[in-house]
Amino acid sequence: MTDVLRRGRASLAFGFFAQGAAFALLVTRIPAIQDRYGVSDALLPLFLAAVPVLAGIGSVTTEQVVKRIRPSRVLRWSQPAVLLALLGVGAGGDLAVLAVTLAAFGLAVGALDASMNMLGVSLQRAYGRSIMLSFHAVFSLGGIVGASLAWAGAHWKLALWVSYLPVVAVLLPAVLVASRWYVDGRPAPAADGTGGDDGADGGGVVFRALLPLCLVMAFAYIGDSTVSNWSAKYLKDVLGSSEQLATVPYNVYMVTTLVGRAVGDFGVRRFGAVAVVRLGSLTAAAGFAVVAAAPGAWAGMLGFTLLGLGLCVLVPQTFAAAGRLFPGSSDAAIARLNVFNYVGFLVGSPLVGVLGDAWGYRWAMLVPMVLVLVTLVYARSFEARPDRYGGEHERSRTADVGRGSNGL
Q: What is the pLDDT confidence band of residue 231, given thresholds at 50, 70 and 90?
A: confident
> Tell me, what's the pLDDT at 247?
72
Classify residue 42: in a domain, yes or no: yes
Same-domain check for residues 274 and 330: yes
Amino acid in position 276: V
The per-residue pLDDT for range 43-92, each reduced to its tens digit, is 888 888 899 999 999 999 999 999 999 999 999 999 999 999 999 999 98
> Tell me, what's the pLDDT at 189?
55
> Tell me, what's the pLDDT at 29?
87
Classify residue 400: in a domain, yes or no: no
> Tell me, what's the pLDDT at 405?
38
Same-domain check for residues 196 and 157: no
Same-domain check for residues 264 and 354: yes
Same-domain check for residues 33 and 120: yes
The per-residue pLDDT for range 144-153, each reduced to its tens digit, is 999 889 888 8
Q: What is the pLDDT confidence band of residue 21, given thresholds at 50, 70 and 90?
A: very high
The per-residue pLDDT for range 311-355, each reduced to its tens digit, is 999 999 999 999 999 988 899 999 999 999 999 999 987 898 899
pLDDT at 6 over 90: yes
CB atoms within 10 A of CB 354: 11
Identify the domain containing residue 43 by its residue range. 1-186
Same-domain check for residues 253 and 175: no
Same-domain check for residues 176 and 194: no
Tell me the residue length of the chain: 408
**C-alpha closest to that of 112 among 317, 336, 335:** 335
pLDDT at 400 over 90: no
Classify residue 232: in a domain, yes or no: yes
Same-domain check for residues 237 and 287: yes
Residue bearing the bigger pLDDT, 392 or 232:
232
Classify residue 401: in a domain, yes or no: no
Same-domain check for residues 177 and 49: yes
Which of 186-200, 231-245, 339-353 has the least mean pLDDT? 186-200
The pTM assigned to this predicted structure is 0.88
Distances (CA, A) of 221 to 34, 69, 246, 345: 24, 29, 21, 5
Classify residue 395: in a domain, yes or no: no
> Tell me, what's the pLDDT at 55?
96
Mean pLDDT of 214-241: 90
Which of 124-133, 323-332, 385-394 has the least mean pLDDT? 385-394
Residue bearing the bigger pLDDT, 347 or 192:
347
Distances (CA, A) of 297 to 105, 228, 243, 256: 36, 17, 11, 18
Rounded-to-integer distance, Cα 244 and Cα 123, Å: 42
Mean pLDDT taken over the chain:
87
Under 8 Å between Cβ of 382 and 264: no
Number of domains the chain contains: 2
Classify residue 408: in a domain, yes or no: no
Classify residue 33: in a domain, yes or no: yes
At CB < 8 A and 24+ separation, what contacts does 227-231 make? Answer: 227/253, 227/304, 227/307, 227/308, 227/311, 228/27, 228/253, 229/348, 229/349, 229/352, 229/353, 230/349, 230/352, 230/353, 230/356, 230/361, 231/304
Same-domain check for residues 179 and 191: no
Burial of 49 (C-beta count, 10 Å sphere; 0-12/13-18/19+): middle
